[in-house]
Amino acid sequence: MIAPLLAIRNLTVQFRVDSGWVTAVDDVSLDVVAGDCVGIVGESGSGKSVTALSILQLHERATTRMPSGSILYQGQDLLRAPGSTMRRIRGSEIAMIFQDPMSSLNPVLTIADQVSETLRQHQGLTGVAARKRVVELLGLVRIPDAARRADDYPHRLSGGMRQRVMIAMAIACKPRLLIADEPTTALDVTIQAQILELLRDLRKELSMSVMLISHDLGVIAEFAQRVIVMYAGRVVEDAPMAQLFRRPVHPYTMGLIAAVPKLDSDASRLTTIPGRIPAPQEVIPGCRFSPRCALVEDGCLHEQPSMQMVSDHQSARCPPRILALGEHHG
């Protein structure tokens, strides 16, 4: 088996609050194989963004700790890598774009200035060469009138354009992995589609792996080859896209799929999952989804479920369901 490009193993991330430490990500493991497109889906508070930020060590050091786990990239554990290594990797080998492009761009610096920073840092490009490359990149992300736009300040661009700029900054050094944290959430639906299409095309052109994070299953479905479902800080299902939709194992996944409104259904009400995601400090004995689960059994309330393989490529954190499915299929 080929070694994955990025391997997150048993990652736990905790944040400091007034009363102590609270666990936001609990024992999360996932792989990204080179060339893959992985989608991480979950509600807000599921820990998906926290996981993503951990890869590039972008958390606030004073209030965050990662007591266990490792993030392996090219044989190195990023969690224990020295600052200089991380700086080398950030932006040039692993890049990240964020949800809100307005606040993620510095309002007092021009677009050209901000995009060329990456070029200067990792490729040593300055002056005319950098400027040329910047305009090239802006064209690559399909910003019209790129040469002029380069000298604008962020506030003069629309939301969609700013996100394109973010993407341009991210792909400037041809990274091997692009992490996209809710890249379309802050954008209009039509722009969403354009951005996703852009990401798809860039992925092919640059042979890049992408980790797409979203709370919108529809966005993930359009884009990812493999889906990882997270709930309350844990991974609850990990499956190839088609399999996930054809045969979702975890009740939460089933709920998510059912919650997507379908234009061709006759239903008069939208399906929802009752209840709400637990706060990170809440201690729930047993499975963390059990309070909301429609298929809950006695055992679920007492024992913490573990991830189990369902088939070669699919795994889920719901032993009762896996058992039931296994019996069903003989």
- State the nearest-atom distance from the C-beta of 118 to other proteins, in Å: 5
Report the residue number, 109 or 260, with the smaller CB distance to other proteins: 109
| Spatial distance between the Cα atoms of 81 and 109, rounded to a whole number of angstroms | 31
- State the nearest-atom distance from the C-beta of 179 to other proteins, in Å: 9
Report the residue number, 106 or 306, with the smaller CB distance to other proteins: 106
- State the nearest-atom distance from the C-beta of 65 to other proteins, in Å: 14
Report the residue number, 109 or 129, with the smaller CB distance to other proteins: 109
Report the residue number, 118 or 314, with the smaller CB distance to other proteins: 118
- Bridge partner list, 40: 213, 228
Report the residue number, 173 or 193, with the smaller CB distance to other proteins: 173
Report the residue number, 70 or 121, with the smaller CB distance to other proteins: 121
| Spatial distance between the Cα atoms of 301 and 48, rounded to a whole number of angstroms | 24
DSSP letters spanning 121-169: III---HHHHHHHHHHHHHHTT-TTHHHHTTS-GGGS-HHHHHHHHHHH
Say how many Å lie between the first and final Cα of the chain, rounded.
28
- State the nearest-atom distance from the C-beta of 10 to other proteins, in Å: 24
| Spatial distance between the Cα atoms of 175 and 76, rounded to a whole number of angstroms | 17
Long-range contacts of 121-128 (CB under 8 A, 24+ apart): 121/91, 121/92, 122/88, 122/91, 122/92, 122/172, 122/173, 123/92, 123/173
- State the nearest-atom distance from the C-beta of 86 to other proteins, in Å: 8
Show the tokens assigned to 147: 């040469």
- State the nearest-atom distance from the C-beta of 70 to other proteins, in Å: 20
Residue 205: helix, strand or coil by DSSP?
helix
Residues that bind other proteins (CB under 8 A): 56, 58, 62, 83, 86-92, 95-96, 98, 100, 103-109, 117-118, 121-122, 148, 151, 153, 155-156, 166, 169
